[in-house]
């Protein structure tokens, strides 16, 4: 599919203005609605914002490509917005966004949006084209430039099959833009150098241009530009350069020059490629942890909502069988939280062979299995699952490396019996003998400590967690506080989850109120975002306050943190409880003491609003 097949001039706005990514997406959704692509612009906009929560779609170089599949899309379409001035937001290269492409695909369109995204990412790698697009005199001229570039790419003669001295693999966490941008950058740099290259892309729709055993055997060097785990065992014994997908985009030429000089170590398998870089090891561990948490959260969210609905229906006297069914299903989802967490951490580290021992280790952590009688078992919960996941992944790596010397005739025995059995035995022994006894005791102490905390200590904890939620607006500190809330939730500490959620809701609401009550402190563009920030705050999307914090961190940051801390403290003081980790005010019907929750939210938001009014000076002065 070509971009021009689904891009209309009426869906192109040149030299527009936007103060935040949600505002830009709102304008783009309006263009698609005007072009007849949408049945419900608001619903589609919500789906795009939900996709943005999974990972920002700013790809660097002044470009952003938000996208979503949605039931609110009638026909596939692309909308374009060029910005003057550029939008200051968090981007991979810290370059403000100057041009946005919004891709809309119907819910039943399979991989259409991924195909369009790959095509678009490839075209936009041409910096000269991007410059000409930004200077286009009209929407019709903009579309003509895209059509001309697509025509040139189509007319390029196919490269004859031949020996490729350099092979490459690209991948990113979502399998979308960066995967294809890195691939095109490497191919373009290879053409400039007269080199032959084949690039395997590990995208959202699977693996394209998969490298064969023969190609790998004949290659002089392998370049892996990936931000997530890819199959590495096939490259043992080959010279290998491992970088992030972003480096593959930015430094494609330098990487190929290294490959041509054979300036790369021989990959031995198993060991970290950059083990001497402790910062990189920390980032790798964080990626593996986030992989597990991202797969775990749906179980916590869905299970919590079902349990909360069961409690709500019980108060209305609904049939007992329905209540029992919903509660049982919800609590069963909670039982799977730690096995899923450990399984996907292990899978991220050691691949498919590590999934089973990780899953079993997480289940043993959930049960708290020890050598004692079952009535003495105490779940090691989150902490045990973390150990199980990392241990299983690393152990499978070691076993894979150690079994390389086995005869080829034993390959099936190795993968089908030796590695699964040995890894399960080792992880099981680790959990039962070494991990569960102390961590189970620690977890029991922690639960008793949280349950038995006096008023002052519990209020202090709530205030700290609420404040941390407003520290970096969706960054690592925010996620750490949120993770604390979800762990407390699984252990039935609903008030801690309430403090965490309300702490994340205050910043965008407080900023919106400040725009309404102190309009002379904000620009016209900032004031126009107030309604959107009210909606984002009500939906528990903390990032709505991020543009304000980036422009004025010394005033906005403390105001948001203090307001969130107050809201978290009051939520616990009023006895509020939240049985699900997401939803914001849309969960108000199932929140314990909803009136107290609303009062705490109002108090924290007003404090943020007043502090911003005091700290920020009128723009006229």
List the catalytic residues: 67, 172
HSE, CB side, 13 Å, CA atoms: give it for residue 116: 26
The two three-digit tokens of residue 168, written as one number: 């490459």
End-to-end alpha carbon distance in the chain? 54
Nearest C-alpha neighbor of 255 from the set 203, 204, 201, 192: 192
- Computed on alpha carbons and rounded to an integer, the radius of gyration of the chain in Å comes to 26
Question: Which strand (E) or helix (H) includes residue 501?
Answer: helix 494-517
Cα–Cα distance between 79 and 116 in angstroms, integer? Answer: 12
* Polymer length in residues for the chain: 621
Cβ pair 361, 338 in contact under 8 A: no
Cα–Cα distance between 342 and 259 in angstroms, integer? Answer: 37
Cβ pair 241, 224 in contact under 8 A: yes
Cβ pair 24, 81 in contact under 8 A: yes
In Å, how far from its chain's centre is CA 483? Answer: 14
CA dihedral 599, 600, 604, 610 (to 10 degrees): 30
Nearest C-alpha neighbor of 135 from the set 99, 88, 102, 96: 99
3-class secondary structure, 64? strand
Cα–Cα distance between 50 and 54 in angstroms, integer? Answer: 7
Cβ pair 79, 28 in contact under 8 A: yes
Segments in 518-588 forming alpha helices (H) = 524-528, 530-538, 546-551, 553-573
The two three-digit tokens of residue 465, written as one number: 């967690």
Phi, psi at 171, each rounded to 5°: -165, 150
Distances (CA, A) of 292 to 14, 119, 580, 581: 41, 30, 19, 16
Segments in 403-472 forming alpha helices (H) = 411-413, 419-429, 436-452, 455-469
Question: Which strand (E) or helix (H) includes residue 84?
Answer: strand 77-87
3-class secondary structure, 557? helix
Distances (CA, A) of 217 to 138, 239, 244, 425, 447: 51, 11, 24, 35, 55
Cα–Cα distance between 122 and 129 in angstroms, integer? Answer: 11
């Amino acid at each position: 599919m070509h971009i021009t097949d689904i891009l209309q001039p009426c869906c192109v706005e040149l030299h527009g203005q936007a103060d935040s990514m949600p505002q830009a997406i709102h304008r783009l959704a309006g263009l698609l609605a005007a072009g007849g692509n949408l049945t419900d612009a608001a619903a589609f906009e919500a789906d795009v914002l939900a996709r943005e929560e999974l990972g920002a779609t700013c790809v660097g170089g002044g470009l952003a490509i938000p996208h979503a599949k949605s039931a609110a899309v009638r026909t596939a379409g692309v909308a374009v917005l060029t910005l003057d001035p550029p939008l200051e937001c968090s981007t991979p290269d810290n370059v403000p966004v100057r041009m946005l492409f919004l891709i809309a695909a119907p819910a039943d369109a399979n991989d259409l949006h991924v195909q369009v995204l790959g095509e678009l990412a490839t075209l936009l790698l041409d910096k000269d084209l991007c410059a000409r697009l930004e200077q286009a005199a009209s929407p019709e001229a903009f579309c003509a430039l895209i059509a001309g570039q697509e025509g040139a790419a189509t007319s390029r003669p196919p490269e004859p099959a031949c020996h490729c001295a350099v092979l490459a693999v690209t991948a990113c966490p979502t399998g979308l833009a960066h995967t294809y941008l890195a691939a095109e950058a490497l191919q373009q740099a290879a053409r400039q150098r007269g080199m032959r290259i084949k690039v395997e892309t590990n995208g959202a729709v699977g693996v394209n241009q998969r490298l064969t055993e023969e190609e790998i055997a004949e290659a002089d060097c392998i370049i892996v530009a990936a931000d997530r785990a890819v199959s590495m065992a096939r490259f043992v014994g080959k010279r290998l350069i491992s970088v992030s997908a972003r480096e593959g985009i930015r430094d494609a030429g330098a990487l190929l020059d290294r490959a041509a000089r054979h300036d790369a170590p021989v990959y031995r398998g198993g060991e970290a490629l950059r083990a001497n870089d402790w910062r990189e090891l920390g980032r790798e561990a964080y990626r593996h942890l986030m992989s597990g948490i991202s797969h775990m959260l749906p179980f916590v969210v869905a299970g919590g909502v079902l349990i909360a609905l069961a409690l709500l229906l019980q108060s209305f006297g609904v049939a007992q069988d329905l209540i029992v069914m919903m509660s049982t299903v919800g609590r069963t989802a909670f039982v799977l939280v730690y096995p899923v967490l450990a399984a996907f951490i292990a899978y991220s580290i050691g691949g498919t062979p590590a999934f089973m021992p990780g899953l079993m280790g997480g289940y043993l952590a959930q049960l708290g299995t020890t050598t004692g009688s079952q009535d003495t078992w105490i779940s090691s919960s989150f902490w045990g699952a973390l150990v199980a996941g990392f241990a299983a992944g690393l152990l499978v790596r070691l076993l894979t490396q150690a079994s390389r010397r086995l005869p080829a005739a034993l390959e099936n025995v190795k993968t089908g019996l030796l590695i699964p059995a040995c890894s399960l035995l080792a992880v099981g022994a680790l959990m039962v003998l070494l991990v569960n006894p102390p961590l189970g005791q620690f977890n029991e102490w922690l639960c008793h400590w949280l349950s038995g905390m006096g008023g002052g200590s519990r209020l202090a904890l709530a205030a700290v967690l609420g404040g941390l939620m407003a520290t970096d607006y969706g960054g690592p500190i925010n996620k750490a506080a949120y993770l604390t809330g979800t762990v407390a939730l699984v252990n039935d500490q609903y008030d801690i989850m309430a403090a965490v959620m309300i702490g994340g809701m205050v910043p965008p609401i407080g900023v919106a109120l400040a725009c309404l009550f102190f309009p002379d402190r904000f620009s016209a563009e900032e004031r126009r975002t107030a309604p959107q920030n009210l909606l984002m705050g009500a939906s528990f999307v903390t990032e709505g306050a991020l543009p304000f914090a980036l422009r004025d961190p010394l005033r906005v940051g403390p105001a948001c943190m203090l307001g969130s801390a107050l809201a978290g403290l009051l939520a616990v003081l009023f006895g509020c409880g939240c049985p699900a980790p997401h939803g914001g005010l849309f969960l108000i019907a199932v929140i314990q003491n909803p009136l107290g929750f609303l009062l705490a939210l109002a108090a924290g938001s007003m404090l943020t609003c007043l502090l911003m009014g005091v700290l920020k000076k009128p723009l006229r002065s």
